[in-house]
Amino acid sequence: MSKDPHNVKVARLTHRVIVAEQTDNGKSFMDESLPHHTLAIEQAVSGLSFEDHIQAIHLLKKLGIAAQGSFT
Could you read off the pLDDT tens digit of each residue along the chain, which spans 72 residues?
A: 444 455 666 666 666 777 778 889 989 999 999 999 999 999 999 999 999 999 999 999 999 998 888 876
User: Which residues are within 8 A (CB) of 2 and not within 5 positions of it... i.e. 6 or more apart?
Assistant: 9, 10
Q: Range of 41's domain?
A: 2-70
pTM: 0.51
Alpha carbon 54 to its chain centroid, in Å, reads 20
- Please count the structural domains in the chain: 1
Phi/psi of residue 21, nearest 5 degrees: -125, 140
Sorted by sequence, the CB contacts under 8 Å of residue 26 that are 6+ apart come out as 6, 7, 8
Looking at residue 56, its pLDDT comes to 93
Question: Which DSSP state fits 53?
Answer: H
User: Length of the chain in residues, anyone?
Assistant: 72
